[in-house]
A and B are shown apart, each in its own frame.
Chain A
Amino acid sequence: MTASTIARNTAAAGGDGAGKKPPRVPRDRTSLWRKLVRDRLLWLCLLPGLAYFLIFHLGAAFGMVIAFTDYWPGISVAQSNLVGVETFQKMFGDPDFWHAVVNTVEISLLQLVFYFPVPLGLALLLHSLTSTTIKRLVQNVVYLPHFISWVIVVALFQQILGGAGVVNGFLADHGLHTVDIIGNPDAFKPLLIAQVIWKDSGWGTIIFLAALAQVDDTLYEASAMDGAGPWRRFWHVTLPGIRSVIVLLLVLRLGEVLSVGFEQLLLQRDAVGPGAGEIIDTYVFYKSLGGGGDFPLAAAAGIFKGVIGAILVYAANKVAHRLGEQGVYR
């Protein structure tokens, strides 16, 4: 059966059911088809990305159903029994879970306050460089740590700051007090932020630099002629020029407020214990893949994270609109 015969049959069937109403739909279809044909190249470019989201995000989201069952690896989802919201009750009743949530939010806020502005500042500094050679060189150097895996970054920090590391070795050799950083729960959260800044602030400049490049140079010239110093030019030209990008990134960041970097934490959690190092993701890991085998709980925590993230994005977007910004979407 060819496409056109099916379409004809369908149209005929639709006609029977709809009585005497004029067949309005086919005209729309044709125009959609025409649009598709006209923009076929764009659609083709979009296809792989669309397939990715359909299969790995939307498709995988159906797996959330296991949060409401007693599934365990070894049986299929279809074989497991529905248990309703029992898993959620168990999770919300577990003090360890709330402890992990508190840690996660703390780390997330620290990242927001101390990490988020760093790429912006770095981008502004880079943007103010006049020599393109130096600018390129610095850019490349600060991008590099992004490509180093967390295992290496954590080992690097340990080799430098650890109890048997370079810094403490130097201090001990000179009869000075050694410092307790790695494995010290009190120093753990600042250490995490320092690692993120070292690793990713360079990479984070890319979007800001692109935004800065969009700011019209004539505005700088005009304000300079009006007697504006560097600080006033930054305040009245640069910042308004990139404000929408900052707000956009901030809103997106809020959506991930409960994801603070699984690998980084998993690698270091045991050294400081769950008191300082347990986040939602490691809590979930130890309850499921890491030995506990409680997959419904892992799915429930995933849903919890998703719902909170969605609410925050929605709220932040509304606030952005109130402030007269575009936000992520209208």
Chain B
Amino acid sequence: MSSELSRRSVFRAIGLGATAVAVPSLISACGDGSGGGGVGNAGTEQAAWPTYTAAKVPAPDLPGDGNDVQNGYTKYPSQVGTATNGKPGDGSVVKAVVITYGTPPGPKETNKFLQAVNEALGIDLQLTVVPDADYQAKMATLMAGDDLPDIMNIGGGYILPREADFVASKCADLSEYLSGDAVKAYPNLANIPTRAWKDMGRVKGRIMGVPVERPAPGNIFFANREMWKGVGVDDKAFSAGGWTSTDLLTAAKALTKDKKYALGASKSGNFGLGVHAPAWGAPNLWKNDGGTFSSYFTTPEFKQAVAFMRDLFAAGVYYPDALTVSQVDAKTHFAGQITGSLTDGFGAYSQMVTSAKGAYTVAPALPYAGGSAGGKIFAARSVFGYTVLKKAAPERIKLLLRVLDFLAAPFGTKEYELVHYGVEGTHFTRDAAGNPVQTDLWKGGENKTNLPITYLCDAPQVLFYPGVSPEAIALMHSFEQKTAPNLVRNPAYGLVSDTASKSEAAIRKTITDVLNSVVMGRASLDDWDAAVKRYKADGGDKIGEEYGKEYAASK
């Protein structure tokens, strides 16, 4: 008889389950997010950018230009101040999700770095680290769930599915806390340059996040200088400049022998596209021609760059199995001097220098000139990504912003020291000159690579890395000075397009597949033209139109 009962209770339980799932989403439905509304800035009232207020920093011995060239420090400042007042937190649990390029951090019971950060921030930080390779899939799953963490960084160069829609509907609007002079309540966030806020952009006219600043150079052709010196391009490629695509091809052919390859390559690197495209004069992702936007895929310069990469591939100068190795493996090949160069972001520099262990010079090569208008270098988006907060009461939002403010404390402060080098005596000691020297504990894994809190928020970057020689710092500083006039910016950074938010990731994948086939000689350059046509039809043109409208509205 009780089988009837149990059947009923099962139905009731299922019904209850369904309600439990449905209720929180109904609450969130009160927002503006059910898909159709549009996330663009055109036609909205736009919140003013946070007022930039420079923080007091120690005087650099290699001064920057305040924009494209960073401040360089060949030694650590002898005096460090403080940048915050008191603990930002109230001891509560703060959940955060962030991308990682390392391994998971140790538990807080044993992780002295996390303990010290928690103590200084006055919070119990529960950090979910998402490996680079799983980032898109994991974040899409997280976005679909109802249990969002307090702090989320959207970064690493990925476009998440319907990213702007998600931010607009599920994240806190930070305009009232950060717009204009309001940001002065968070002095370290006010020290983030305006170009970073602009490249992050607004959604529906509102400031929805805090940018994680990055310096100007985008993809860099990092070379093993001694290997290239042997094939006669040292002066042109690394100091005087003025080398051409022919020089590169000839030198690369000469260098590739005895199981050594001139050009490193990886799955995500697309054969060094980020270096070759500007060298041939292609625009940086989008071209703004008097308010008309077109994708770099559609330009003849881009096609020339593709044709050149195809020649390089045909010459056999790329590492074989280019599309099966990861960027991590590609770095190992470079460090092991199996490959003579590797295209990577600016941020990879200090680690590459450290991995070289002084056996060879890691040199950023100056852009070569391909074609007539080339010799350029792409400017990076001024942000690694941006950090958004889950909707919450104003007090909670203020607490979380204070946490981000702490993490953004500039170079030459106690806070910066903790976040970037750990605890003195535990994670770093000092050499005779006062420079921080990393301990084995830090090098062994208890560090900010494995506890990537600097991707939640960070100070504007400077040229100083513990364990990196003054010569290497000076080399990069000089590279920035030389390439600053040749930087090509992406006019679409900071602009929002509904179509891009919905379909850019997918159509980009399709055309990138063709790009790889063309470079590897499996498809012809005519196939490239067909792919461009398809890209335009599948949404490329529409995205361009939307950027045009946004651009007109933001002027």
Q: A residues near B, CB below 8 A? A: 3-4, 6-7, 10, 26, 29-30, 32-33, 36, 70, 72-76, 78-81, 96, 154, 158, 162-165, 168-169, 172, 182-183, 185, 268, 270-271, 273-275, 285-295
B1 and A291 within 8 A (CB) = no
Q: Name B286-344 residues within 8 Å CB distance of A.
A: 319-324, 338
Q: Collect the chain A residues with CB atoms within 8 Å of residue B508's CB.
A: 291
Closest chain B residue to A273, Cβ basis: B517
Contact call B4/A6, Cβ cutoff below 8 A:
yes
Q: Which 7 A-B pairs have the closest CB atoms?
A: A293-B161, A163-B320, A76-B25, A291-B505, A73-B144, A292-B506, A7-B1
Taking the complex as formed, is B516 at the interface, i.e. its CB lies under 8 A from any CB of chain A? yes
A293 touches B162 (CB 8 A): yes
Distance in angstroms from A287 CB to nearest chain B CB is 6
Question: Any chain A CB within 8 A of the CB of B140?
Answer: yes
A73 pairs with B321, CB closer than 8 A: no
* Binary contact track B20-46/A, C-beta < 8 Å → 1, others 0: 011001101100011100000000000
Q: Would you list 24 pairs from A and B whose C-beta atoms are within 8 A, ordered by A residue?
A: A4-B2, A6-B8, A7-B5, A10-B4, A33-B3, A73-B141, A76-B21, A76-B22, A76-B28, A78-B22, A79-B35, A81-B35, A158-B324, A163-B320, A169-B259, A270-B516, A271-B323, A271-B324, A275-B517, A291-B158, A292-B505, A293-B160, A293-B502, A293-B506
| Least CB separation from A268: chain B residue | B324
Say whether B474 faces chain A, with CB atoms less than 8 Å apart: no
Query: In this complex, what residue of A is CB-closest to B2?
Result: A3
Name the contact of A7 in the complex, choosing from B4, B33, B136, B503 (C-beta under 8 A).
B4
Nearest CB of chain B from residue A78's CB, rounded to whole Å = 5
Are B136 and A291 touching (Cβ within 8 A)?
yes
Complex: chain B residue closest to A185, CB-CB: B522
Given A74-B165, A75-B28, 20 other A-B contacts at CB below 8 A?
Answer: A70-B35, A73-B140, A73-B144, A74-B33, A74-B170, A75-B34, A76-B21, A78-B22, A163-B320, A183-B321, A183-B322, A183-B324, A271-B321, A289-B140, A290-B509, A291-B158, A291-B509, A292-B506, A293-B161, A293-B162
Report the separation of the CA atoms of residues A274 and B513 in the bound assembly, to the nearest whole angstrom: 7
CA distance A163 to B316 in the complex (A): 11
Asked if A75 contacts B3 (CB within 8 A), the reply is no
A74 near B1 with CB under 8 A, answer no
A165 — which chain B residues lie within 8 A by C-beta?
321
CB distance from B219 to the nearest CB of A (A): 19
- Chain A residues with Cβ below 8 Å from B254 are none
Q: A288–B140 contact, CB under 8 A?
A: yes
Q: Of all chain A residues, which has the CB nearest B325? A: A158
Interchain CB contact under 8 A, B143 and A29: no
Is B493 an interface residue, CB under 8 A from the partner?
no
Question: Which residue in A29, A70, A162, A163 is a CB contact (below 8 Å) of B1?
Answer: A29
Interface check B169, CB cutoff 8 A: yes
Complex contacts, B26 vs chain A, CB 8 Å: 76, 78
Chain B residues whose C-beta falls within 8 Å of the C-beta of A75 in the assembled complex? 25, 28-29, 33-35, 169
Q: A79-B25, A292-B505 are in contact. Are A73 and B166 (CB under 8 A)?
A: yes
The docked-state distance in angstroms from the alpha carbon of A181 to that of B380 is 37
Chain B interface residue number, banded: 35 or more
Contact of A3 among B5, B29, B136, B141 (CB under 8 A): B5
Contacts of B35 in A (CB 8 A): 70, 72, 75, 79-81
Q: Is the CB of A273 within 8 A of B162?
A: no
Question: Which A residues lie within 8 Å of B144 (CB)?
Answer: 73-74, 295
Work out how many contacts link A and B, with CB atoms closer than 8 A. Answer: 150
- Minimum CB–CB distance for A12 against chain B, Å: 13
- A163 & B259 in contact (Cβ 8 Å cutoff): no
Q: Look across to chain A and name the residue whose beta carbon is closest to the beta carbon of B509.
A: A286
A164 to B166 Cα, complex, angstroms: 43
Docked Cα-Cα span, A190 to B503, in Å, equals: 34
By beta carbon, the residue of chain B nearest A1 is: B5
B319 partner residues in chain A, CB cutoff 8 A: 164
- B145 CB to nearest chain A CB (Å): 8
Kindly state the separation between the CA atoms of A292 and B539 in the bound complex, as whole angstroms: 13
Contact across chains for B136 and A73 when beta carbons are under 8 A apart: no
Give the shortest distance, in Å, between A66 (CB) and chain B (any CB). Answer: 10
Which residue in chain A gives the minimum CB-CB distance to B505?
A291
Whole-angstrom distance between the alpha carbons of A29 and B4 in the complex? 9
A205 to B15, CA, bound (A): 44
B259: chain A residues within 8 A (beta carbon): 164, 169, 172
Q: Which residues of A contact B522 (CB under 8 A)?
A: 185, 273, 275
| Chain B 156-191 near chain A by CB (<8 Å), digits 1 or 0 | 001111100110011000000000000000000000
Contact digits for B82-106, partner A, Cβ 8 Å, 1 yes 0 no: 0000000000000000000000000
CB distance from B227 to the nearest CB of A (A): 17
Candidate in B4, B267, B319, B503 with the most chain A CB atoms within 10 angstroms: B4
Nearest-CB distance from B209 to chain A (Å)?
Answer: 16
| Known contacts A10-B4, A293-B502, A73 near B323 by CB under 8 Å | no
Quick check: is B250 within 8 A (CB to CB) of the other chain? no
- In the complex with contacts A79-B29, A273-B516, A286-B509, A73-B324 CB distance below 8 A: no
Bound-state Cα–Cα, A96 to B509, Å: 12
From the candidates A72, A158, A183, name the one contacting B161 in the complex (CB within 8 A): A72
Asked if residues B141 and A289 are in contact (CB atoms below 8 Å), the reply is yes
- Given the interface pairs A286-B506, A289-B141, A293-B505, the reply to whether A164 lies near B165 with Cβ below 8 Å is no
Contact B323 A74 (CB under 8 A): no
Interchain CB contact under 8 A, A291 and B141 = no
Question: What separation, in Å, do the CA atoms of A32 and B4 have in the docked complex?
Answer: 11
Taking the complex as formed, is B537 at the interface, i.e. its CB lies under 8 A from any CB of chain A?
no
A280–B485 Cα distance when bound, in Å, is 47
In chain B, what residue has the closest Cβ to A155? B324
> CB of B553 within 8 A of chain A?
no
Min CB–CB distance B538 → chain A (angstroms): 10
Q: How far is the CA of A247 from the CA of B75 in the complex (A)?
A: 75
Contact pattern, B 470-505, Cβ under 8 Å of A = 1, otherwise 0: 000000000000000000000000000000001101
The answer to the question of B510 belonging to the interface, with a C-beta cut-off of 8 Å to chain A, is yes
Shortest CB distance A57–B (Å): 15
User: Which B residues are CB-close (under 8 A) to A270?
Assistant: 267, 323-324, 513, 516
Cβ-closest chain A residue relative to B501 = A293
From A71, which residue of chain B is reached at the shortest CB distance?
Answer: B35
Contact residues in A for B146 (Cβ distance below 8 Å): 76
What's the minimum C-beta distance from A21 to chain B, rounded to whole angstroms?
Answer: 18
Contact A289 B1 (CB under 8 A): no
Q: How far is the CB of A151 from chain B (nearest CB, A)?
A: 10
Cα A75 to Cα B31 in complex, Å, equals 10
Contact A4 B33 (CB under 8 A): no
B137 at the interface (CB under 8 A from A): yes
CB distance from B40 to the nearest CB of A (A): 17
Residues of B within 8 A of A73 (CB): 140-141, 143-144, 161-162, 166
Q: A73-B162, A292-B503 are in contact. Are A32 and B3 (CB under 8 A)?
A: yes
A74 B321 Cβ-Cβ under 8 A? no
Residue with the greatest number of chain B CB neighbours at <10 A, chosen from A33, A73, A79? A73
A79 B321 Cβ-Cβ under 8 A: no
Measured between alpha carbons, how far is A106 from B324 in the docked complex, in Å?
23
Q: Which residues of A contact B324 (CB under 8 A)?
A: 154, 158, 162, 182-183, 268, 270-271
A289→B137 contact, CB < 8 A = yes
Instruction: Assess the A273–B161 pair: CB atoms within 8 A.
Output: no
For residue B8, which residues in chain A have a CB less than 8 angstroms away from its CB?
Answer: 6
User: Which residue of B1, B21, B158, B320 is within 8 Å of A33 (Cβ)?
Assistant: B1
A6 partner residues in chain B, CB cutoff 8 A = 4-5, 8
